Chains A and B, each alone.
Chain A
Amino acid sequence: MEFIDALTGGFSSLGSLPIAIALVIGAALGIVVGVLPGVGPGVTIAVLLPFTYGMAPLGGISLLLGVYCGAFYGGAVTSILIRTPGEASSIMTMFDGYPLARQGQAQRALSLAFMSAFVGGIASALLLGLVARPMASFAAKFGAAENVMAILLAAVCVGKAYRRQFPAAMMMMGLGFFLATVGIDPNSNEQRYTFGIPGMLSGIPLVPVAVGLFGMAQALVMVSSPVPQFDASLIQTAGLSWRGFLEPFRYPKAMLKGLFLGSAIGVLPAVGAALSTSLAYFWAQQGAKDPTPFGQGNPEGIVAAECANNSNSGGAMITVLTLGIPGDAITAIIMGVFVVHGIVPGPSLFTDRPEIINGVLASLLVINFVILGLLILTVKPLARLAYVNPRILGLVILVLSFVGSYSAANSMYYVIITAIFGVLGLVCARANIPTIPLILGMVMGDTLEASLRQLLGRSDGSLEPFITRPVSLAMLIAIFLILFWPLLMALTKRLKNPNV
């Protein structure tokens, strides 16, 4: 009942014309950037973030959520028609989508992908509505010790998601934490690492950092890379078929596998859609109903991958709304909209600003319908966007990065920060160093420091509360297990077989 009330409240929040327009524009932009070569939702959301300053919070969030979800759908178009996945999470769709298109069934493949993504999106929005409130009630009992441990657990999960680059990811996370401390310390009014620069007194703002790392760095790569060549013969065959739209429902097992993995993995910080789609794809191979081999146009491969891909969005928003911990760079930037408007994401949001929570839930539901509608109307011309020269797009992003970061505060200081982090992003990409942990560190740094100082202040510097509070202790054990699991396994192996 509470869920229905929340949903009704959310729909009424979306009734405002500016919010509805923002939602539709976001959805349309998302689809377009999903199709455009080289432009992902991260770049677009980073570049759009400054423009959400003047909007109502829910309008800004709806705009960015539209881009986030729309790109998942759009990515399938290029995966299926030109064998070029726009996003890592669309690779699995390509494995069976492209062979189907080569067999003259492009319309079937696109319809399968869109309807599966639609089911994934709707299911994940409903999951968000059902799970977020109880989870927030649980998180409301968190004290400073639990907050510190939850953020550290998220940080370790992020680092581990980079597997062999774990130390590099932790380095960037440390840099993000450090950057969050620059400026006047709110507790003692001391100036920290400002180098006497007046602009730095208020800290290093998130917006130009995000625009630089994701917008400008990507633009520089796009303008300096050769134009990719692809077989465009299938672009003319783009279209949809009603039979294809209904087909995913013939494979409920593949759908459920995708939904389960997408939602579950979406909740985990930094693991993201790419892992969930590949796991769902391989899981769907077991006990598949359709006899076509996987990789040669099996529809169940597309259904599982697309369901998993789009069901990530709701899962990723759960941790943002309930704990104030973003799961990836995109949700970190979306969290930036909350921060810009002085809204603190976390359990208190459910009592302080329920209209935002309900609005996000309703937005996620409506966005999926809007996207599906837009795709039905525009899929043919949309596919032609794949022809656009990525170098031209790079130039557009560069110019938008400039004006976007400048307009956030009408200040060249923001543009300088954008340029510095744009260069850092490019250099990091060359050196194979991840940059997403930096943004996550910046977003979580303030809360981590505040909670840590609060806890240490109360306990006179004792670390005991971390182990005397059960939830904190459980998270501490989880951190140790995540960090030392490989070592423990190796030790156990050696104990069992000393000759190894």
Chain B
Amino acid sequence: MLLLALSCLAVCIWLLSSQLIQPYPHQANWFESAALFPKISLLIMAAGGLFEIYQRRHQTESGESEELDSSAAIIHDAIAMLLAFGLYMVAVPFVGYLSSTLVFLLVACWLLKFERLTSLILAVSLSFTMWVVFVKILKVYFGQSWLI
């Protein structure tokens, strides 16, 4: 499904290139065009994806990637964590880095069903350390916010 989606995306972008490159070089020679390389890249992407789909359908065993192994991951937990991370991203500029990190870690620990004491120690120590290191020492500026 993902392979098909990525291949279709590549084809769509390829077709829409004349609108997505501004201003589109209609008068330029093909070999001087700014669209040449992106179009070749999209072609490789689409062809690769379609070949992979074909190969997976006609192969008894699929090739195993030696990269990140997510076979044991519980996808609902990952989605919940992603949502929490999304809210964290939104909250930081408004609420402040320290408070948002503290709340995010408490929520994450609750999602992961950690013990209360572990959650509290982890959330307080980690958020405070990060705040001291990045905001106070490295002077990373997260903008004006309601809290710290």
Contacts and interface: CB of A to CB of B under 8 A. Distances in A.
A427 to B, nearest CB: 6
Interface of B: 1-3, 6-7, 10, 13, 20-25, 28-32, 34-38, 40-52, 55, 59, 62-70, 72-78, 81-82, 85-86, 88-89, 92-93, 97, 101, 104-105, 108-109, 112, 114, 122, 126-127, 130, 134, 138, 140-142
A425 B68 contact: yes
A190 B89 contact: no
B45 A224 contact: no
A224 B65 contact: no
Given A170-B44, A432-B64, A225 B6 contact: no
B2 A433 contact: yes
B87 to A, nearest CB: 11
The 3 closest A-B pairs by CB, nearest first: A164-B63, A171-B48, A174-B44
Interface string A388-409: 0001100110111011001100
Contact of A427 (B2, B25, B85, B142): B2
A174 B105 contact: no
Interface residues of A, number: 76
Nearest to A223: B81
Interface stretch (A28-36, A69-77, A448-456, A480-488): A448-456
A193 B122 CA distance: 42
A139 interface: no
Given A402-B89, A407-B138, A167 B48 contact: yes
B63 A430 contact: no
A428 B108 contact: no
A251 interface: no
B65 A162 contact: yes
Given A164-B59, A223-B81, A223-B108, A218 B34 contact: no
A433 B66 CA distance: 10
Contacts, number: 221
Contact of B70 (A165, A169, A187, A221): A221
Contacts of A456: 31-32, 36
B78 A429 contact: no
A193 B20 contact: yes
A111 B77 CA distance: 40
A177 B41 contact: yes
A190 to B, nearest CB: 5
A242 interface: no
B49 A168 contact: yes
Interface string A431-470: 1111110000100010011001100110011000000000
Contact of B34 (A168, A170, A187, A391): A187
Contacts of B32: 453, 456-457
Nearest to B24: A190
Contacts of B76: 224
Interface string A180-191: 010001011011
Interface in A143-193: 162-165, 167-175, 177-178, 181, 185, 187-188, 190-193
